[in-house]
Structure 1
């Protein structure tokens, strides 16, 4: 288990999850590769949740993700009332592909 989000991110990078994925309105992107993925093209390999106390805005999850084309990276998602509705739907689709 990781002590915090920074520890998890660093450890996952050492495991080869060296790209950073970002949520879009309808997809997930890797800006460094200028690549765009649908949730069907991605698999969650492992996930780690972090909650820093009573502030719901401080909850986050880091997902280690592998794309169908072999690209591996991380996606950090902060939860709470500030998540945009379009991005929340992308998160839901991604999590449902992990089932």
Structure 2
């Protein structure tokens, strides 16, 4: 669908996902709004993974996320050998709650 991570981010911004989410310790934060969310406050709307070649550091996933109050944003997470396992557990819980 998208040719690369930058293309995905721009397209998602066009869809209203204009905030940036980051993984924190036991929460997901929106830096622009200075708000912390629990997994229960958010839902993943879209997920897109990218592998830009043979460099293991270039593997990433962008999550289009919406809060219960309608705040839309994206969260980018690298995966593979560079993933922070504790923070990845938050995404795993969020994905599990979607099913």
Residue equivalent to 2:21: 21
Residue equivalent to 1:44: 44
**Which consecutive residues of structure 1, in runs of 5 or more, have no partner in the other structure?**
none
Residue equivalent to 1:87: 87
2:65 and 2:84 map into 1 onto residues whose CA distance is 21
The C-alpha deviation readout for 1:44-72, integer Å capped at 9, x for no partner, is: 11111100122222111111111011100
How big is the alpha-carbon RMSD for the aligned residues of Structure 1 and Structure 2? 1.0
Partner secondary structure for residue 32 of structure 2: helix
**Which consecutive residues of structure 2, in runs of 5 or more, have no partner in the other structure?**
none
Number of aligned pairs?
99
With normalisation by structure 1, the TM-score equals 0.93
